[in-house]
């Protein structure tokens, strides 16, 4: 055997933050999240030309949108970027307010790949549904508009909520570091910022 024979070169590894699910800290969560995000749009889009049963497309798309909304809000957001939101109603006043929760940067480091996938998918899907609405109007398929409107309401709500949650998290961390490194100072800063956003 020739000892001078060149050895096969190792394939270059993707850089941190690249859009490769293999770099994800939570690959199953990421793939499930992307699956829900893509499938609802894909089923609706293909249904316009392939599947002629409007009722079937309506039901399947609604189920996928509901699953996507729940999974994103309660699981994917918390595991991929350390953010979660929910809505509370004060029983005494009936006033509704948004509550934002973010993980402590000292205990959880957000994976750059997870973050890029999350925010890209979060903002791209509403744009796709807007395109679907325009397509339905151009083709005079007004019966499909209620489904598209439902999709827009669900996707835009999650997008706005997580965007606001991210701003709350950044402002809270900045205020906490400005007041000091003690837990008491961090809690005071977080409460001040939380009240500011809840009134907005």
- Which pLDDT tens digits describe the chain residue by residue (200 residues)? 455 555 555 555 556 556 676 788 889 999 999 999 999 999 988 877 776 678 888 999 999 999 999 999 999 999 999 898 888 887 887 788 888 888 877 777 888 889 999 999 999 999 999 999 998 899 888 888 999 999 999 999 999 999 988 887 775 554 444 433 334 334 433 444 444 444 44
Question: What pLDDT score was predicted for residue 19?
Answer: 61
Question: What pLDDT score was predicted for residue 196?
Answer: 41
Question: What pLDDT score was predicted for residue 18?
Answer: 60
Task: Using alpha carbons, list the distances in angstroms from residue 114 to 37, 55, 152.
Answer: 15, 35, 24
> Pick from 44, 38, 25: which is nearest to 148 by CA?
44
> Pick from 167, 135, 164, 138: which is nearest to 151 by CA?
135
Q: Where are the domains of the chain?
A: 24-83+107-160
Q: Half-sphere exposure (CA, 13 Å, Cβ side) for 194?
A: 14
Q: Write phi, then psi, for 87 (nearest 5 degrees).
A: -115, 135
**Which are the contacts of 150, defined by CB distance < 8 A and separation ≥ 6?**
62, 65
Q: Half-sphere exposure (CA, 13 Å, Cβ side) for 130?
A: 6
pTM listed for this prediction: 0.72
Question: What pLDDT score was predicted for residue 197?
Answer: 42
Instruction: Catalogue the long-range contacts made by 165-173 (C-beta closer than 8 Å, 24 or more residues apart).
Output: 165/77, 165/83, 165/84, 165/85, 165/100, 165/101, 165/102, 166/81, 166/83, 167/197, 168/100, 168/102, 168/193, 168/194, 168/197, 169/82, 169/83, 169/100, 169/102, 171/197, 172/102, 173/102, 173/105
Question: What pLDDT score was predicted for residue 122?
Answer: 94
Question: What pLDDT score was predicted for residue 165?
Answer: 85
User: Which segments of 17-144 does DSSP mark as H helices, in order?
Assistant: 27-47, 54-71, 77-81, 112-138
């Amino acid at each position: 055997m020739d000892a001078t024979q060149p050895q096969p070169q190792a394939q270059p590894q993707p850089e941190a933050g690249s859009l490769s699910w293999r770099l994800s800290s939570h690959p199953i969560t990421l793939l499930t999240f992307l699956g829900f995000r893509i499938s609802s749009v894909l089923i609706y889009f293909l249904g316009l030309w392939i599947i002629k049963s409007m009722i079937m497309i309506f039901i399947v798309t609604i189920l996928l949108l509901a699953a996507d909304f729940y999974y994103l809000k309660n699981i994917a957001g918390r595991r991929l970027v350390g953010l979660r939101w929910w809505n509370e109603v004060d029983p005494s006043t009936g006033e509704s307010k948004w509550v934002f929760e973010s993980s402590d940067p000292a205990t959880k480091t957000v994976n750059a790949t997870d973050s890029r996938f999350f925010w890209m998918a979060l903002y791209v899907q509403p744009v796709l549904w807007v395109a679907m609405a325009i397509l339905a109007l151009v083709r005079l398929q007004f019966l499909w508009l209620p489904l598209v409107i439902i999709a827009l309401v669900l996707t835009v709500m999650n997008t706005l909520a997580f965007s606001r949650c991210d701003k709350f998290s950044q402002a809270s961390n900045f205020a906490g570091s400005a007041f000091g490194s003690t837990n008491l100072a961090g809690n005071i800063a977080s409460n001040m910022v939380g009240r500011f956003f809840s009134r907005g």
